[in-house]
Amino acid sequence: GDLMQGEAPTPEARARLLAGTRVMERYQPPEYRAELKVLASALGVDYMELMAAQLFGDVWRAPQCSSYAVWGEATADGKCYAGRNMDFWDHGIASYGMVLLHYTPDRGLPFVTVSWSGIINGWTAMNTAGIVCSNNTSGGGQESLQGISTCFMVRKVAQYARTVAEGVEIVRRGPRAAGTNLLIAGPEGAAMVEFDHDRVAVRYSEVGADAWTVMRDYVVAGNVFRWLLLDPGERRQGGNWGRYGTLRGLIRSRYGQLGPEDNLARVEGIPLSGMNLQCVFLCPTDRTFQIAMGPPPASKDRFREYRLTARGLDVIWQPQAPKISWQERLTGRNQ
């Protein structure tokens, strides 16, 4: 389909993608392989090509996404809020293939994942315990195809973790594949789990001090490791460059005031507008999320809000176009 043609446009590229998929396939959880075999049979497609559609983000690396979470002292009501952008090449799929999948698995927790048709893992997920998980590709670490793909790791955390700590432990147990900043958030807070094939480093809270205050209870990530490649004694918080710095600055500018109206993920300068396919704002405490998905830039499109339940998704409100910029919100001016 469009995905395989876009990711592997030549016979040589397709052969390389499938070769990598054959190596990686055996390391995926057996229950997910079994599910894909049934799906491939029902669709009448080749199993290994369908598997390649699940794994292409690890076989081919694509570092563009961004994510954050705020909670506790950082928010006005103490609740946890998380935001995430999927910035990736469209391949023509976004106009027809974006889906929300609600799973009620035989084992584990019911969860929702934001995905494309035919892809059973997805890139942003939340379960009925309020655990949110999303991935940002990150380079510079030790990469291997001999591990669980990043997106299947997202699904595994969403399916089985009831707390942030349980999600972190799932990642630690591995086997892990390629370099990733993995956001795991829940009602009690969040962690940014930096990992590659060999190592794991967990940031539970960023602390940014100025002359008057110490700001904690938030985590931020773009596509660069903050801790993983450093010895523990060299690890520091902070930094004001790139989308990491922009997000960090936005959080600090409204520290203690952030709430359900503050979707920082869609603020100009955070999404990569030419390839922003999903913009999601989640409240793990309430099991609710707002989402815009489709052709880029999705962040400027209409958002829908849902509540996750064990039986499915309840619609809270229907599309409305965001009309107020972040700068106008700060000054109190409306269009």
- Domain ranges within the chain, ordered by starting residue: 2-56, 62-331
Read off the pLDDT of residues 255-273 as tens digits, 9 standing for 90 and up.
Answer: 999 999 999 999 999 999 8
Report the C-alpha gap between 274 and 171 in whole angstroms. Answer: 31
Higher pLDDT: 80 or 210? It is 80
Give residue 171's pLDDT: 99
- Contact of 110 with 128, CB cutoff 8 Å: yes
Total-model pTM: 0.91
Give residue 215's pLDDT: 85
Answer whether residue 239 shows pLDDT above 70: no
Give residue 60's pLDDT: 65
Higher pLDDT: 327 or 272? It is 272
Give residue 235's pLDDT: 67
Read off the pLDDT of residues 141-167 as tens digits, 9 standing for 90 and up.
Answer: 898 999 999 999 999 999 999 999 999
H and E: helices and strands count for the chain: 8, 16
Give residue 210's pLDDT: 54
Q: Show the tokens assigned to 188.
A: 């009690």
Work out the average pLDDT over 319-329: 51
Average pLDDT over all residues of the chain = 90
Work out the average pLDDT over 33-41: 98
Answer whether residue 51 shows pLDDT above 90: yes
- Contact of 145 with 96, CB cutoff 8 Å: no
**Measured on CA atoms in the order 236, 240, 244, 247, is the torsion positive or negative?**
positive
Give residue 93's pLDDT: 86
- Contact of 194 with 203, CB cutoff 8 Å: yes
Question: What share of the chain has pLDDT > 70, as a percent?
Answer: 89
Read off the pLDDT of residues 291-318 as tens digits, 9 standing for 90 and up.
Answer: 999 999 999 999 999 999 999 999 998 7
Q: For strand 200-203 and strand 276-283, is the pairing parallel, antiparallel, or unpaired? A: unpaired
Model confidence band, residue 236 (pLDDT cutoffs 50, 70, 90): low
Q: For strand 214-215 and strand 218-221, is the pairing parallel, antiparallel, or unpaired? A: unpaired
Q: Show the tokens assigned to 97.
A: 């293939």
Give Cα separations from 290 to 140, 202, 262, 301 (angstroms): 32, 27, 11, 12
Answer whether residue 208 shows pLDDT above 80: no
Model confidence band, residue 62 (pLDDT cutoffs 50, 70, 90): low
- Contact of 324 with 332, CB cutoff 8 Å: no
Q: Show the tokens assigned to 228.
A: 């993983």
Report the C-alpha gap between 181 and 327 in whole angstroms. Answer: 28
* DSSP assigned state of 146: S
Give residue 320's pLDDT: 55
Helix axes 150-160, 164-173, angle to 10 degrees: 140
Model confidence band, residue 64 (pLDDT cutoffs 50, 70, 90): confident
Read off the pLDDT of residues 155-200 as tens digits, 9 standing for 90 and up.
Answer: 999 999 999 999 999 999 999 999 999 999 999 999 999 999 999 9
Tell me how far apart the 2 most distant CA atoms of the chain are, in Å.
63
Q: Which fold has domain 62-331?
A: Penicillin V Acylase; Chain A (3.60.60)
Work out the average pLDDT over 112-137: 96
Work out the average pLDDT over 221-231: 88
HSE at residue 204, side-chain half, CA atoms within 13 A, is 7
